[in-house]
């Protein structure tokens, strides 16, 4: 049996092990031109199941060169949640549903996976898998589409207020339009949002970049352990686990706990976000645009406009050429 790539071989073995054999395996050896797996419980049960695939240079394909099966271990050796049923496999399964319904709810994921694969998964894995599926369908490889550019004399309350008003006018023309704005905690921006109803609940919400929150937190307390806990708290999707992490922070440093407590939980944590930010924790995604426009801000205004246009066109053209072979007509 041959496969077009190592990834194809791995995906096929994973699907077979989860849906048909209903056994778990472990990776014994993995190299660019070799992949070998064996029964997860071979040492405990003596199960001799194993598989080895090697890249065939003359064919340009991966081929199974050795196979010993079927499993001789009992099915009850496996846990309720299959160890090889990872988020990438689940995300691939969810792609069709997410394409059909962008708002596909996480509450359906766990039951869907159980119906399809026969195994239960945790809420956390369901959330991670749905997030991965959405990224593949709507925002693969962290690509972004810049919607607006503005030239202002300085970053101030007045300039932010003007920019947000213009953005709301063109981005949110209808009363039922919804938006989530993720940014750092710049005081001018925070104040300006109060002047623009379109960016206030229920039409919109303002969320903070978790990377900036953690950076400011670390500047204040200068403790790597606390910074790590801050990130874990913000990225945690389960409210109870979030509270446990916050308790750890409190035990380490009461002042640090109080500092985070001054920030609205809905603005920096996934567990209290209600799905507005769709799992996006930071503004890192937009940094690619900053890289494209690097150095432009020091030029004359006309030159800034021209370089913004030409570099943006180049960015879009490159993305178009990359994606075109995969597009469906």
**What does the pLDDT look like over 86-111, one tens digit per residue?**
888 999 889 888 776 666 777 788 88
Which is it for the CA torsion 72, 75, 80, 86, positive or negative? positive
Cα–Cα distance list, 80 to 83, 111, 118 (Å): 9, 14, 9
In whole angstroms, give the CA distance from residue 52 to residue 37: 7
| Least confident window among 243-257, 283-297, 306-320 | 283-297
Does a structural domain hold residue 151?
no
Mean pLDDT, rounded, for 154-183:
88
Instruction: Kindly tell me if the per-residue pLDDT of 37 is higher than 50.
Output: yes
Q: Do 72 and 48 touch, CB atoms closer than 8 A?
A: yes
Q: In sequence order, what DSSP letters do the residues of 245-258 get, joined into one string?
A: HHHHHHHH-HHHHH
Are both 50 and 123 inside the same structural domain? no
Last residue of a domain, one of 58, 77, 96: 77
Radius of gyration of the chain, Cα coordinates, nearest whole angstrom: 25
The predicted structure's pLDDT at residue 140: 47
Are both 52 and 11 inside the same structural domain? yes
Are both 100 and 206 inside the same structural domain? no
Token pair belonging to 22: 């209903």
Nearest to 268 by CA among 282, 251, 287, 253: 282
Are both 248 and 185 inside the same structural domain? yes
Does a structural domain hold residue 305?
yes
Each residue of 38-51: pLDDT tens digit? 999 898 889 999 99
Are both 63 and 134 inside the same structural domain? no
Are both 195 and 228 inside the same structural domain? yes
Query: In total, how many domains does the chain have?
Result: 4
The predicted structure's pLDDT at residue 326: 57
Last residue of a domain, one of 56, 77, 98: 77
Are both 281 and 163 inside the same structural domain? yes
Q: In sequence order, what DSSP letters do the residues of 161-213 get, joined into one string?
A: HHHHHHHHHHH--STT--EEEEE---HHHHHHHTT-GGGSTTTEEEEE-HHHH
Q: Do 297 and 311 touch, CB atoms closer than 8 A?
A: no
Q: Which residue has the tokens 């606390």?
A: 226
Q: What is the CB neighbour count within 10 angstroms for residue 233? A: 25
The predicted structure's pLDDT at residue 324: 67
Instruction: Kindly tell me if the per-residue pLDDT of 298 is higher than 80.
Output: no
Are both 97 and 41 inside the same structural domain? no
Are both 274 and 165 inside the same structural domain? yes
Does a structural domain hold residue 145?
no
Strands 25-31 and 61-68: unpaired
Instruction: Kindly tell me if the per-residue pLDDT of 319 is higher than 50.
Output: yes
Mean pLDDT, rounded, for 78-85:
75
Does a structural domain hold residue 318?
yes
Sheet holding 2-3, edge to edge: 2-3, 61-68, 50-56, 34-39, 25-31
Average pLDDT of the chain, as a whole number: 86
Are both 114 and 187 inside the same structural domain? no
For the chain, give the percent of residues with pLDDT over 90: 38
Cβ contacts of residue 220 below 8 Å, gap of 6+? 256, 259
Does a structural domain hold residue 152?
no
Are both 126 and 183 inside the same structural domain? no
Each residue of 248-261: pLDDT tens digit? 999 999 999 999 99
Q: How confident is the model at residue 296 (pLDDT cuts 50, 70, 90)?
A: confident
Domain range for residue 321? Answer: 293-326
In whole angstroms, give the CA distance from residue 282 to residue 284: 5
Last residue of a domain, one of 77, 95, 113: 77
| Least confident window among 76-85, 189-198, 263-272 | 76-85
Are both 277 and 163 inside the same structural domain? yes
Does a structural domain hold residue 150?
no
In whole angstroms, give the CA distance from residue 27 to residue 17: 13
Does a structural domain hold residue 226?
yes
In whole angstroms, give the CA distance from residue 134 to residue 104: 9
Angle among Cα 146, 147, 148 to the nearest 5 degrees reads: 105
């Amino acid at each position: 049996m041959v496969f077009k790539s190592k990834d194809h071989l791995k995906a096929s073995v994973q699907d077979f092990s989860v849906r048909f054999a209903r056994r778990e395996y472990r990776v014994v050896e993995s190299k660019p031109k070799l992949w070998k797996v064996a029964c997860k419980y071979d040492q405990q049960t003596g199960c001799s199941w194993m598989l080895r695939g090697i890249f065939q240079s003359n064919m340009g394909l991966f081929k199974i060169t050795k196979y010993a099966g079927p499993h001789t271990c009992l099915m009850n050796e496996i846990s309720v949640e299959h160890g090889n049923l990872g988020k990438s496999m689940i995300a691939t399964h969810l792609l069709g549903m997410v394409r059909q319904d962008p708002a596909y709810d996480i509450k359906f994921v766990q039951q869907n996976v159980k119906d399809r694969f026969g195994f239960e998964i945790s809420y956390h894995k369901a959330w991670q898998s749905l997030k991965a599926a959405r990224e593949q369908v709507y925002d693969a490889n962290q690509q972004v589409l810049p919607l607006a550019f503005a030239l202002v004399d300085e970053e101030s309350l007045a300039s932010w207020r003007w920019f947000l008003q213009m953005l709301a006018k063109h981005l949110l023309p209808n009363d039922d339009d919804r938006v989530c704005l993720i940014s750092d905690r710049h005081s001018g921006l925070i104040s300006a949002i109060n002047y623009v109803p379109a960016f206030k609940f229920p039409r919109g919400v303002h969320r903070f970049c978790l990377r900036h929150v953690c950076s400011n937190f670390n500047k204040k307390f200068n403790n790597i352990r606390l910074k790590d806990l801050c990130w874990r708290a913000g990225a945690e999707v389960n409210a109870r686990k979030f509270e446990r992490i916050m308790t750890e922070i409190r035990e380490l440093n009461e002042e640090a706990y109080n500092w985070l407590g001054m920030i609205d939980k809905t603005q920096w944590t996934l567990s209290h976000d209600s799905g507005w930010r769709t799992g996006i924790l930071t503004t890192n995604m937009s940094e690619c645009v900053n890289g494209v426009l690097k150095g432009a801000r020091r030029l004359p205004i006309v030159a800034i406009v021209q370089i913004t246009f030409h570099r943006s066109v180049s960015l879009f053209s490159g993305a178009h050429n990359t994606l075109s072979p995969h597009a469906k007509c």
